[in-house]
Chain A
Amino acid sequence: SQTIHQWPATLVQPVGSPLSLECTVEGTSNPNLYWYRQAAGRGLQLLFYSVGIGQISSEVPQNLSASRPQDRQFILSSKKLLLSDSGFYLCACRDGNLYEQYFGPGTRLTVT
């Protein structure tokens, strides 16, 4: 079965600082990968998804970018964080042969 690793679990960063969140997947190959953001007590907002190495689709124009340098690695970045970037960032994976999405443990980001 698939396992998704995300780190760090929590992060406090000042406004204007850069960001790099990493997600790695085990137990599958060539998965679809997703980045979601969840504001406190709110729903899941899809930020980016990728169907393969170097292929990134952006769902919402914003201060963030994503990259997929390897098949099972998905990175979320920002050059300059904003207060509104605070939230719970979830990486998710879907095996192309299955339909359910598996979520990683998430990173709770607070921008101060």
Chain B
Amino acid sequence: GQQVMQIPQYQHVQEGEDFTTYCNSSTTLSNIQWYKQRPGGHPVFLIQLVKSGEVKKQKRLTFQFGEAKKNSSLHITATQTTDVGTYFCAGRTGRRALTFGSGTRLQVQP
């Protein structure tokens, strides 16, 4: 079945440093979504990417979808303490339900 893997599992950065998490799928995706889960909270939708090579930005967050539509990345520039949480990618193939990656937990040291 479809698998979505994320690396790293955990990253600890100093406030102001950049952060990147990578997502890889075993199959070609029709789209990929990113979610953020704050500690003790529930996942909240951030963005969806659909097109091959697509790049989208939300303030300090940059999302990319690979040319082959099998990988994606989320880059945060100049992290802040409010960025703390776990970031999940989630891929969809056709009409199937989303498959979530294992997540990357980000800790930001003030």
Contact = CB atoms under 8 A, between A and B. Distances in A.
Interface in B1-60: 6, 31, 33, 35, 41-45, 48
Contacts, number: 47
Contact of A43 (B33, B41, B44, B101): B101
A41 B9 CA distance: 10
B70 interface: no
Interface residues of A, number: 21
A46 B103 CA distance: 14
Interface stretch (A11-19, A70-78, A98-106): A98-106
Contacts of B44: 103
A101 B102 contact: no
A42 B6 CA distance: 12
Contact of A90 (B42, B101, B102): B42
A103 B100 CA distance: 13
Contacts of A46: 97-100
A3 to B, nearest CB: 13
Most buried by B among A42, A43, A100: A43
B65 interface: no
A45 B99 CA distance: 8
B63 interface: no
A49 B97 contact: yes
Interface in A33-89: 34, 36, 41-46, 49, 57, 59
Given A44-B103, A101-B35, 15 more contacts: A42-B103, A43-B88, A43-B100, A43-B101, A43-B103, A44-B90, A44-B100, A46-B97, A46-B98, A90-B43, A99-B33, A100-B48, A101-B43, A101-B45, A105-B41
Interface of A: 32, 34, 36, 41-46, 49, 57, 59, 90, 99-106
Interface of B: 6, 31, 33, 35, 41-45, 48, 88, 90, 97-103, 105
10 contacts: A34-B97, A43-B88, A44-B43, A46-B98, A90-B43, A99-B31, A100-B33, A101-B35, A103-B42, A105-B42
